[in-house]
A and B are shown apart, each in its own frame.
Chain A
């Protein structure tokens, strides 16, 4: 139990579906992240929110749409995905800037399969 909770843990969706991934952190942190982990690839940063404002978007396709309504919740809205988007999606949070030495804590991830 890391204090970062993700739902659903597993999701299968068709290419025309719309679904959302949810993340909630109970650590009092002020930054939240979405990472994508595909087989044989390093963890890829998708989005960063600090104090509920998006501070980084690593050229992620528009079929992924993040939403951060407050510092404890983060969503990833999914629309018309492709099979290559099948991966483990990890939410994480931290207190302040990572380059100040603050650690990020990961949720358990949401396994997404696009069929």
Chain B
């Protein structure tokens, strides 16, 4: 069964450094998402991406964040200058069809630790 994959599984970085989290969505999917989950808290929406542009973003997704689909398979989340409070599990998700909403399939996550 196709699945969303994410790399790396764990990223440790120093405050102020740039990180890029990578995701490979399910191949025929059209909509891509990033969510994050701070330890012990709810899963929070960050951004959705469709047709090579951001379709919706949350207040969390400020100028320090950016997303890109550099080729036909990868979907990346970049944090330009990481802060301690960016430490969280970051999940990529995708869904497809021409439809508006359908099941969102999540990757296994990247645990980001900012020191």
A interacts with B: no
Which A residues contact B (CB, under 8 angstroms)? none
